[in-house]
Amino acid sequence: MSLNVEWQLALSSAQLAALGTLVLFILTYIVSLFRFLWTRQSDNPEKRPPTIPYYLPGLCHAFRLEWSMDNFLAATVKRWGYQSPLKVRAGTFQFIMVTNPSHIRSIIRSSRILANRPIIMFAMRKWFYTPVDSLHHYNSHHGPHPHLHDLQLGINISQVTPSVIEAMMDSRILEVYPTLVGDFWEFDRQLANYSRRLPRWMIPSAYRTRDRQLANLKAWNRMAYQHSDCSKHGVDDADWDEFFGTRYIKAHEDLMRKHGLDDDAIASDNLGLLFGANANAVRAVFWYLFEALKDKPLQERLQTELHDCRNPQTDTLDIPQLSTKPLLQSTYAEVLRLRVSGIMTRTNEDVPFCLGPDSDYTVPRNTTMSTFSSITARNQSAWESVRPQIVSRPLDEFWPERFLVRGREDSKLKFSVDGLAECWMPYGGGQRMCPGRHFAKNEIIGTLGLLLDLFDCELVDRRAANRDQSDQRWVPYGTLPPTRRVVVKLTRRR
Protein backbone atom coordinates (compact mmCIF):
# COMPACT_ATOMS: atom_id res chain seq x y z
CA MET A 1 0.00 0.00 0.00
CA SER A 2 2.75 2.45 0.96
CA LEU A 3 4.57 1.70 -2.30
CA ASN A 4 1.41 2.49 -4.25
CA VAL A 5 0.97 5.76 -2.35
CA GLU A 6 4.58 6.74 -2.99
CA TRP A 7 4.15 5.94 -6.68
CA GLN A 8 1.00 8.07 -6.86
CA LEU A 9 2.74 10.92 -5.05
CA ALA A 10 5.72 10.70 -7.40
CA LEU A 11 3.39 10.64 -10.39
CA SER A 12 1.48 13.59 -9.02
CA SER A 13 4.73 15.49 -8.52
CA ALA A 14 5.80 14.75 -12.10
CA GLN A 15 2.41 15.84 -13.40
CA LEU A 16 2.57 19.03 -11.37
CA ALA A 17 6.08 19.74 -12.64
CA ALA A 18 4.95 19.16 -16.23
CA LEU A 19 1.91 21.36 -15.70
CA GLY A 20 4.04 24.05 -14.09
CA THR A 21 6.47 23.96 -17.00
CA LEU A 22 3.60 24.21 -19.49
CA VAL A 23 2.11 27.16 -17.61
CA LEU A 24 5.54 28.83 -17.55
CA PHE A 25 5.89 28.43 -21.32
CA ILE A 26 2.39 29.79 -21.94
CA LEU A 27 2.89 32.76 -19.62
CA THR A 28 6.26 33.48 -21.24
CA TYR A 29 4.62 33.56 -24.66
CA ILE A 30 1.75 35.77 -23.48
CA VAL A 31 4.11 38.27 -21.86
CA SER A 32 6.49 38.32 -24.84
CA LEU A 33 3.53 38.69 -27.23
CA PHE A 34 2.19 41.61 -25.21
CA ARG A 35 5.61 43.31 -25.24
CA PHE A 36 5.92 42.66 -28.98
CA LEU A 37 2.55 44.22 -29.82
CA TRP A 38 3.07 47.11 -27.40
CA THR A 39 6.43 48.00 -28.93
CA ARG A 40 5.23 47.56 -32.49
CA GLN A 41 2.19 49.81 -32.03
CA SER A 42 4.02 52.44 -30.01
CA ASP A 43 4.08 56.04 -31.29
CA ASN A 44 7.63 56.52 -30.06
CA PRO A 45 9.57 57.98 -33.04
CA GLU A 46 12.73 56.16 -31.89
CA LYS A 47 11.30 52.83 -30.80
CA ARG A 48 13.46 49.74 -30.81
CA PRO A 49 12.69 46.66 -32.91
CA PRO A 50 10.35 44.31 -31.00
CA THR A 51 11.43 40.83 -29.97
CA ILE A 52 9.55 38.04 -31.75
CA PRO A 53 7.27 36.26 -29.23
CA TYR A 54 8.76 33.09 -27.73
CA TYR A 55 7.93 30.26 -25.32
CA LEU A 56 11.28 29.50 -23.72
CA PRO A 57 12.45 31.95 -21.04
CA GLY A 58 16.14 32.73 -21.42
CA LEU A 59 16.65 30.58 -24.52
CA CYS A 60 13.93 32.42 -26.48
CA HIS A 61 14.24 31.31 -30.15
CA ALA A 62 17.31 29.08 -29.74
CA PHE A 63 15.65 25.72 -30.38
CA ARG A 64 13.71 26.95 -33.41
CA LEU A 65 16.85 28.42 -34.94
CA GLU A 66 18.80 25.24 -34.30
CA TRP A 67 16.05 22.90 -35.49
CA SER A 68 15.37 24.67 -38.80
CA MET A 69 16.44 28.24 -39.48
CA ASP A 70 14.68 28.14 -42.85
CA ASN A 71 11.32 27.25 -41.28
CA PHE A 72 11.84 29.85 -38.57
CA LEU A 73 12.58 32.64 -41.06
CA ALA A 74 9.70 31.68 -43.38
CA ALA A 75 7.22 31.35 -40.51
CA THR A 76 8.32 34.69 -39.08
CA VAL A 77 7.64 36.72 -42.24
CA LYS A 78 4.43 34.79 -42.88
CA ARG A 79 3.15 35.62 -39.37
CA TRP A 80 4.49 39.15 -38.89
CA GLY A 81 5.09 40.42 -42.41
CA TYR A 82 8.01 42.30 -43.95
CA GLN A 83 7.41 45.82 -42.67
CA SER A 84 8.91 45.83 -39.16
CA PRO A 85 12.44 44.92 -38.10
CA LEU A 86 12.32 42.05 -35.61
CA LYS A 87 14.69 41.05 -32.84
CA VAL A 88 15.74 37.40 -32.69
CA ARG A 89 17.26 36.04 -29.48
CA ALA A 90 18.99 32.78 -28.61
CA GLY A 91 20.31 33.10 -25.09
CA THR A 92 22.84 35.94 -25.06
CA PHE A 93 23.10 35.91 -28.86
CA GLN A 94 20.77 38.29 -30.68
CA PHE A 95 20.33 40.10 -33.97
CA ILE A 96 17.81 42.29 -35.77
CA MET A 97 16.09 40.63 -38.74
CA VAL A 98 15.58 43.30 -41.42
CA THR A 99 13.09 42.55 -44.22
CA ASN A 100 11.56 45.90 -45.20
CA PRO A 101 13.06 47.04 -48.55
CA SER A 102 13.35 50.67 -47.39
CA HIS A 103 15.20 49.56 -44.25
CA ILE A 104 17.50 47.36 -46.33
CA ARG A 105 18.15 50.31 -48.64
CA SER A 106 19.17 52.46 -45.66
CA ILE A 107 21.59 49.78 -44.49
CA ILE A 108 23.10 49.36 -47.96
CA ARG A 109 23.56 53.11 -48.36
CA SER A 110 25.19 53.41 -44.93
CA SER A 111 28.08 51.05 -45.59
CA ARG A 112 30.60 53.68 -44.51
CA ILE A 113 29.20 53.88 -40.99
CA LEU A 114 28.12 50.25 -40.58
CA ALA A 115 30.66 47.46 -40.15
CA ASN A 116 30.70 43.80 -41.07
CA ARG A 117 33.75 43.09 -38.94
CA PRO A 118 31.97 40.91 -36.35
CA ILE A 119 30.87 38.34 -38.94
CA ILE A 120 34.29 38.42 -40.63
CA MET A 121 36.04 37.89 -37.30
CA PHE A 122 33.66 35.03 -36.50
CA ALA A 123 34.21 33.31 -39.85
CA MET A 124 37.98 33.72 -39.82
CA ARG A 125 38.30 32.29 -36.32
CA LYS A 126 35.52 29.68 -36.14
CA TRP A 127 35.54 28.50 -39.75
CA PHE A 128 39.10 29.00 -40.98
CA TYR A 129 40.85 28.89 -37.58
CA THR A 130 42.89 32.07 -37.97
CA PRO A 131 45.36 32.41 -35.05
CA VAL A 132 44.05 34.73 -32.35
CA ASP A 133 47.10 37.00 -32.54
CA SER A 134 46.42 37.59 -36.27
CA LEU A 135 42.73 38.44 -36.01
CA HIS A 136 43.51 42.12 -35.52
CA HIS A 137 44.29 42.29 -39.24
CA TYR A 138 40.62 41.64 -40.04
CA ASN A 139 39.49 44.09 -37.38
CA SER A 140 41.68 47.00 -38.45
CA HIS A 141 39.85 48.48 -41.46
CA HIS A 142 36.41 50.02 -41.20
CA GLY A 143 35.78 50.41 -44.90
CA PRO A 144 36.64 48.23 -47.89
CA HIS A 145 39.99 48.78 -49.58
CA PRO A 146 40.22 47.50 -53.18
CA HIS A 147 43.86 46.40 -53.06
CA LEU A 148 43.25 43.37 -55.25
CA HIS A 149 41.71 44.72 -58.42
CA ASP A 150 41.99 41.47 -60.39
CA LEU A 151 39.40 39.80 -58.18
CA GLN A 152 36.89 42.60 -58.63
CA LEU A 153 37.34 42.71 -62.39
CA GLY A 154 37.10 38.94 -62.75
CA ILE A 155 39.62 36.34 -63.87
CA ASN A 156 39.51 34.98 -67.40
CA ILE A 157 37.25 31.96 -67.21
CA SER A 158 39.48 30.02 -69.61
CA GLN A 159 41.74 29.56 -66.59
CA VAL A 160 38.92 28.10 -64.53
CA THR A 161 38.79 24.67 -66.19
CA PRO A 162 39.01 21.88 -65.43
CA SER A 163 39.59 22.84 -61.78
CA VAL A 164 39.01 26.16 -60.06
CA ILE A 165 41.69 25.34 -57.52
CA GLU A 166 44.28 24.45 -60.15
CA ALA A 167 43.34 27.47 -62.23
CA MET A 168 43.82 29.85 -59.30
CA MET A 169 46.83 28.29 -57.60
CA ASP A 170 48.48 26.14 -60.29
CA SER A 171 48.65 22.34 -60.38
CA ARG A 172 51.55 22.27 -57.92
CA ILE A 173 49.14 22.72 -55.03
CA LEU A 174 47.47 19.43 -56.01
CA GLU A 175 50.87 17.77 -56.26
CA VAL A 176 51.78 18.93 -52.76
CA TYR A 177 48.29 18.16 -51.45
CA PRO A 178 46.59 15.48 -53.63
CA THR A 179 43.57 15.02 -51.31
CA LEU A 180 42.76 18.73 -51.24
CA VAL A 181 39.45 18.46 -53.11
CA GLY A 182 38.02 15.71 -50.92
CA ASP A 183 39.17 17.40 -47.74
CA PHE A 184 37.70 20.71 -48.87
CA TRP A 185 34.21 19.31 -49.38
CA GLU A 186 34.37 17.50 -46.05
CA PHE A 187 35.33 20.83 -44.46
CA ASP A 188 32.40 22.47 -46.25
CA ARG A 189 29.96 19.85 -44.94
CA GLN A 190 31.07 20.62 -41.37
CA LEU A 191 30.56 24.37 -41.62
CA ALA A 192 27.40 24.40 -39.52
CA ASN A 193 29.16 22.45 -36.76
CA TYR A 194 32.04 24.94 -36.72
CA SER A 195 29.44 27.72 -36.48
CA ARG A 196 27.81 26.01 -33.50
CA ARG A 197 31.22 26.05 -31.77
CA LEU A 198 31.02 22.35 -31.02
CA PRO A 199 34.13 21.20 -29.13
CA ARG A 200 36.80 19.07 -30.75
CA TRP A 201 35.88 15.95 -28.77
CA MET A 202 32.34 16.00 -30.24
CA ILE A 203 33.41 16.24 -33.91
CA PRO A 204 37.05 15.08 -33.96
CA SER A 205 37.05 14.09 -37.65
CA ALA A 206 35.83 17.55 -38.68
CA TYR A 207 38.68 19.21 -36.82
CA ARG A 208 41.22 16.72 -38.15
CA THR A 209 40.11 17.50 -41.70
CA ARG A 210 40.55 21.21 -41.13
CA ASP A 211 43.90 20.72 -39.40
CA ARG A 212 45.09 18.64 -42.35
CA GLN A 213 43.97 21.30 -44.81
CA LEU A 214 45.73 24.09 -42.97
CA ALA A 215 48.96 22.09 -42.62
CA ASN A 216 49.05 21.25 -46.34
CA LEU A 217 48.12 24.76 -47.46
CA LYS A 218 50.92 26.04 -45.24
CA ALA A 219 53.38 23.62 -46.88
CA TRP A 220 52.30 24.67 -50.38
CA ASN A 221 52.53 28.33 -49.49
CA ARG A 222 56.04 27.99 -48.09
CA MET A 223 57.16 26.13 -51.21
CA ALA A 224 55.68 28.77 -53.52
CA TYR A 225 57.14 31.64 -51.48
CA GLN A 226 60.61 30.10 -51.61
CA HIS A 227 60.57 29.63 -55.39
CA SER A 228 58.75 32.75 -56.58
CA ASP A 229 58.81 36.49 -55.91
CA CYS A 230 55.27 37.34 -54.82
CA SER A 231 55.98 41.09 -55.04
CA LYS A 232 55.98 40.89 -58.85
CA HIS A 233 52.28 41.18 -59.62
CA GLY A 234 52.06 44.47 -61.48
CA VAL A 235 50.42 45.03 -64.85
CA ASP A 236 53.78 44.54 -66.57
CA ASP A 237 54.43 41.24 -64.81
CA ALA A 238 53.35 37.81 -66.03
CA ASP A 239 49.69 36.87 -65.61
CA TRP A 240 50.65 33.34 -64.60
CA ASP A 241 53.20 31.97 -62.15
CA GLU A 242 54.20 28.31 -62.08
CA PHE A 243 54.14 28.26 -58.27
CA PHE A 244 51.41 30.71 -57.18
CA GLY A 245 49.15 30.42 -60.21
CA THR A 246 47.26 33.60 -61.11
CA ARG A 247 48.64 37.07 -60.58
CA TYR A 248 45.84 37.64 -58.09
CA ILE A 249 47.17 34.90 -55.80
CA LYS A 250 50.62 36.50 -55.89
CA ALA A 251 49.12 39.88 -55.02
CA HIS A 252 47.13 38.27 -52.23
CA GLU A 253 50.28 36.64 -50.83
CA ASP A 254 52.21 39.90 -51.03
CA LEU A 255 49.44 41.82 -49.27
CA MET A 256 49.18 39.29 -46.45
CA ARG A 257 52.92 39.38 -45.78
CA LYS A 258 53.06 43.18 -45.90
CA HIS A 259 50.39 43.19 -43.19
CA GLY A 260 52.59 40.98 -41.04
CA LEU A 261 50.60 37.75 -41.19
CA ASP A 262 52.59 34.60 -40.43
CA ASP A 263 52.42 31.25 -42.26
CA ASP A 264 49.57 29.93 -40.11
CA ALA A 265 47.43 33.01 -40.68
CA ILE A 266 48.12 32.96 -44.43
CA ALA A 267 47.09 29.28 -44.56
CA SER A 268 43.79 30.17 -42.87
CA ASP A 269 43.28 33.04 -45.29
CA ASN A 270 43.96 30.73 -48.24
CA LEU A 271 41.39 28.28 -46.90
CA GLY A 272 38.92 31.15 -46.86
CA LEU A 273 39.91 31.99 -50.42
CA LEU A 274 39.29 28.40 -51.53
CA PHE A 275 35.93 28.45 -49.79
CA GLY A 276 34.90 31.68 -51.50
CA ALA A 277 35.96 30.46 -54.94
CA ASN A 278 34.45 26.99 -54.74
CA ALA A 279 31.73 26.33 -52.17
CA ASN A 280 29.00 28.53 -53.61
CA ALA A 281 29.98 28.70 -57.27
CA VAL A 282 30.31 24.94 -57.79
CA ARG A 283 26.83 24.30 -56.40
CA ALA A 284 25.47 27.17 -58.49
CA VAL A 285 26.96 25.55 -61.61
CA PHE A 286 25.15 22.35 -60.68
CA TRP A 287 21.77 24.10 -60.35
CA TYR A 288 22.38 26.05 -63.55
CA LEU A 289 23.03 22.84 -65.49
CA PHE A 290 20.21 21.04 -63.67
CA GLU A 291 17.60 23.63 -64.68
CA ALA A 292 18.86 23.69 -68.28
CA LEU A 293 18.67 19.90 -68.60
CA LYS A 294 15.20 19.72 -67.04
CA ASP A 295 13.82 22.07 -69.69
CA LYS A 296 14.77 21.05 -73.24
CA PRO A 297 13.46 24.25 -74.89
CA LEU A 298 15.49 26.30 -72.39
CA GLN A 299 18.59 24.22 -73.11
CA GLU A 300 18.17 24.78 -76.86
CA ARG A 301 17.79 28.54 -76.38
CA LEU A 302 20.86 28.67 -74.17
CA GLN A 303 22.83 26.74 -76.77
CA THR A 304 21.72 29.25 -79.42
CA GLU A 305 23.33 32.01 -77.36
CA LEU A 306 26.41 29.84 -76.94
CA HIS A 307 26.62 29.45 -80.71
CA ASP A 308 26.58 33.25 -81.07
CA CYS A 309 29.69 33.37 -78.86
CA ARG A 310 31.73 30.98 -80.98
CA ASN A 311 34.90 32.43 -82.46
CA PRO A 312 34.85 31.44 -86.17
CA GLN A 313 38.63 31.69 -86.47
CA THR A 314 39.44 29.30 -83.63
CA ASP A 315 36.12 27.40 -83.51
CA THR A 316 36.08 27.87 -79.73
CA LEU A 317 33.78 29.74 -77.38
CA ASP A 318 34.52 33.38 -76.62
CA ILE A 319 34.09 32.79 -72.90
CA PRO A 320 33.94 36.44 -71.69
CA GLN A 321 31.19 37.15 -74.23
CA LEU A 322 28.95 34.52 -72.60
CA SER A 323 28.42 36.82 -69.63
CA THR A 324 26.89 39.45 -71.93
CA LYS A 325 24.10 37.25 -73.33
CA PRO A 326 20.62 38.07 -71.95
CA LEU A 327 19.14 34.60 -71.40
CA LEU A 328 22.37 33.13 -70.03
CA GLN A 329 22.51 36.00 -67.54
CA SER A 330 18.83 35.88 -66.64
CA THR A 331 18.93 32.13 -66.03
CA TYR A 332 22.07 32.61 -63.91
CA ALA A 333 20.33 35.33 -61.86
CA GLU A 334 17.24 33.17 -61.35
CA VAL A 335 19.38 30.23 -60.20
CA LEU A 336 21.03 32.45 -57.59
CA ARG A 337 17.70 33.93 -56.52
CA LEU A 338 16.17 30.54 -55.74
CA ARG A 339 19.21 28.49 -54.74
CA VAL A 340 21.33 30.91 -52.68
CA SER A 341 20.43 31.47 -49.05
CA GLY A 342 23.03 33.86 -47.72
CA ILE A 343 23.09 36.45 -44.99
CA MET A 344 24.20 40.08 -45.07
CA THR A 345 25.12 41.44 -41.63
CA ARG A 346 25.97 44.97 -40.57
CA THR A 347 26.75 46.33 -37.11
CA ASN A 348 26.43 49.92 -35.91
CA GLU A 349 29.49 49.96 -33.67
CA ASP A 350 29.51 53.63 -32.69
CA VAL A 351 26.02 55.14 -32.50
CA PRO A 352 22.35 54.09 -32.66
CA PHE A 353 21.16 53.63 -36.24
CA CYS A 354 17.85 54.88 -37.62
CA LEU A 355 16.44 52.59 -40.30
CA GLY A 356 15.73 55.36 -42.77
CA PRO A 357 14.17 58.85 -42.84
CA ASP A 358 10.63 57.44 -42.93
CA SER A 359 11.21 54.82 -40.25
CA ASP A 360 10.36 55.16 -36.57
CA TYR A 361 12.70 52.32 -35.62
CA THR A 362 16.15 52.93 -34.16
CA VAL A 363 18.61 50.09 -33.65
CA PRO A 364 20.65 50.37 -30.42
CA ARG A 365 24.41 50.85 -30.70
CA ASN A 366 26.58 47.79 -31.35
CA THR A 367 23.70 45.65 -32.61
CA THR A 368 23.91 43.24 -35.54
CA MET A 369 21.36 43.71 -38.33
CA SER A 370 20.82 40.73 -40.63
CA THR A 371 19.16 40.42 -44.03
CA PHE A 372 18.56 36.98 -45.55
CA SER A 373 18.66 36.61 -49.33
CA SER A 374 16.15 33.73 -49.26
CA ILE A 375 13.61 36.04 -47.61
CA THR A 376 14.14 39.05 -49.87
CA ALA A 377 13.97 36.72 -52.90
CA ARG A 378 10.34 35.91 -52.12
CA ASN A 379 8.98 39.29 -51.01
CA GLN A 380 6.14 39.58 -53.52
CA SER A 381 5.22 43.21 -52.86
CA ALA A 382 8.84 44.38 -53.03
CA TRP A 383 9.49 42.76 -56.41
CA GLU A 384 6.13 43.88 -57.79
CA SER A 385 6.67 47.51 -56.76
CA VAL A 386 9.92 47.64 -58.74
CA ARG A 387 8.86 45.77 -61.86
CA PRO A 388 5.28 44.37 -61.96
CA GLN A 389 5.95 42.01 -64.86
CA ILE A 390 8.72 40.30 -62.91
CA VAL A 391 6.11 38.51 -60.79
CA SER A 392 4.08 37.31 -63.78
CA ARG A 393 5.17 33.90 -62.58
CA PRO A 394 5.18 33.05 -58.83
CA LEU A 395 8.40 33.80 -56.97
CA ASP A 396 8.49 30.22 -55.66
CA GLU A 397 8.77 29.02 -59.26
CA PHE A 398 11.91 28.88 -61.41
CA TRP A 399 11.43 31.23 -64.36
CA PRO A 400 14.57 31.79 -66.47
CA GLU A 401 13.14 34.89 -68.22
CA ARG A 402 12.41 36.72 -64.95
CA PHE A 403 15.25 39.23 -65.39
CA LEU A 404 14.65 40.02 -69.07
CA VAL A 405 13.24 43.43 -70.08
CA ARG A 406 12.50 45.12 -73.38
CA GLY A 407 14.98 47.80 -74.39
CA ARG A 408 13.72 51.39 -74.70
CA GLU A 409 15.46 52.06 -77.97
CA ASP A 410 14.58 48.71 -79.52
CA SER A 411 12.38 45.75 -78.74
CA LYS A 412 15.22 43.35 -78.00
CA LEU A 413 15.21 41.52 -74.70
CA LYS A 414 17.96 42.59 -72.31
CA PHE A 415 19.14 41.37 -68.94
CA SER A 416 18.59 43.76 -66.04
CA VAL A 417 18.67 43.75 -62.25
CA ASP A 418 18.20 47.53 -62.06
CA GLY A 419 16.17 48.59 -59.04
CA LEU A 420 16.38 45.15 -57.42
CA ALA A 421 19.21 45.81 -54.96
CA GLU A 422 16.91 45.18 -51.98
CA CYS A 423 15.33 42.06 -53.53
CA TRP A 424 18.04 40.17 -55.41
CA MET A 425 20.86 39.82 -52.87
CA PRO A 426 22.89 36.64 -53.48
CA TYR A 427 26.09 38.69 -53.07
CA GLY A 428 24.87 41.00 -50.32
CA GLY A 429 24.75 44.71 -51.01
CA GLY A 430 26.44 48.08 -50.71
CA GLN A 431 30.16 48.77 -50.60
CA ARG A 432 30.79 45.44 -48.92
CA MET A 433 29.06 43.38 -51.58
CA CYS A 434 31.04 40.22 -52.33
CA PRO A 435 34.18 41.40 -54.19
CA GLY A 436 34.40 38.11 -56.09
CA ARG A 437 30.95 38.39 -57.66
CA HIS A 438 32.32 39.16 -61.15
CA PHE A 439 34.67 36.19 -60.99
CA ALA A 440 31.82 33.98 -59.75
CA LYS A 441 29.50 35.11 -62.54
CA ASN A 442 32.11 34.37 -65.21
CA GLU A 443 32.93 31.06 -63.56
CA ILE A 444 29.30 29.91 -63.36
CA ILE A 445 28.18 31.02 -66.82
CA GLY A 446 31.47 30.01 -68.44
CA THR A 447 31.45 26.54 -66.91
CA LEU A 448 27.90 25.93 -68.07
CA GLY A 449 28.85 27.14 -71.54
CA LEU A 450 31.81 24.78 -71.74
CA LEU A 451 29.79 21.82 -70.47
CA LEU A 452 27.01 22.32 -73.02
CA ASP A 453 29.54 23.01 -75.78
CA LEU A 454 31.89 20.08 -75.16
CA PHE A 455 29.39 17.45 -74.02
CA ASP A 456 25.99 16.04 -74.80
CA CYS A 457 24.38 16.31 -71.37
CA GLU A 458 21.21 14.62 -70.16
CA LEU A 459 19.55 13.76 -66.87
CA VAL A 460 19.48 10.00 -66.38
CA ASP A 461 16.15 10.12 -64.50
CA ARG A 462 14.21 13.21 -65.57
CA ARG A 463 11.10 12.24 -63.61
CA ALA A 464 13.05 11.91 -60.36
CA ALA A 465 14.83 15.19 -61.10
CA ASN A 466 11.49 17.00 -61.02
CA ARG A 467 11.21 16.04 -57.37
CA ASP A 468 14.65 17.27 -56.37
CA GLN A 469 14.76 20.28 -54.06
CA SER A 470 17.31 22.44 -52.30
CA ASP A 471 18.48 21.17 -48.92
CA GLN A 472 17.14 23.85 -46.58
CA ARG A 473 19.27 22.60 -43.69
CA TRP A 474 22.12 24.62 -45.20
CA VAL A 475 20.35 27.96 -44.65
CA PRO A 476 21.99 30.53 -44.39
CA TYR A 477 25.44 29.29 -45.50
CA GLY A 478 25.22 30.24 -49.19
CA THR A 479 24.30 28.14 -52.22
CA LEU A 480 22.15 25.21 -51.13
CA PRO A 481 23.03 21.66 -52.20
CA PRO A 482 20.38 19.27 -53.57
CA THR A 483 18.58 16.97 -51.17
CA ARG A 484 19.93 13.91 -52.98
CA ARG A 485 22.34 12.83 -55.70
CA VAL A 486 21.44 13.72 -59.28
CA VAL A 487 22.95 11.56 -62.04
CA VAL A 488 23.87 13.33 -65.29
CA LYS A 489 25.18 11.52 -68.37
CA LEU A 490 27.98 13.38 -70.18
CA THR A 491 29.11 12.24 -73.63
CA ARG A 492 32.09 14.03 -75.15
CA ARG A 493 31.34 15.56 -78.54
CA ARG A 494 33.73 14.77 -81.38
Mean pLDDT over 176-202 rounds to 91
Model pLDDT for residues 298-324, shown as the tens digit of each residue: 999 999 999 999 888 887 888 889 999
Model pLDDT for residues 387-438, shown as the tens digit of each residue: 999 999 999 999 999 999 987 777 789 999 999 999 999 999 988 888 888 8
Model pLDDT for residues 324-366, shown as the tens digit of each residue: 999 999 999 999 999 999 999 999 998 999 998 888 899 999 9
pTM above 0.85, yes or no: yes
Predicted confidence band at 143 (pLDDT cuts at 50, 70, 90)?
low
309 is in an annotated binding site: no
Q: Which amino acid is at 406?
A: R
Residue 149 has pLDDT above 60, yes or no: no
Length of the chain: 494
Model pLDDT for residues 198-232, shown as the tens digit of each residue: 899 999 999 999 999 999 999 999 999 998 888 88
Q: For the chain, how big is the Rg over CA atoms in Å? A: 25
DSSP 2-44: HHHHHHHHHHHHHHHHHHHHHHHHHHHHHHHHHHHHHHHT---
What residue ranges do the domains of the chain occupy?
Answer: 15-97, 125-492
DSSP state of 404: E
The fold adopted by the segment(s) 125-492 is: Cytochrome p450 (1.10.630)
Lowest average pLDDT, out of 79-83, 235-239, 327-331, 442-446, goes to 235-239
Q: Provide the b/e sequence for 300-337 (b: ≥16 CB within 10 Å).
A: ebbeebbeebeeeeeeebebebbbebbbbbbbbbbbbb
57: cis peptide before it, omega within 30°?
no
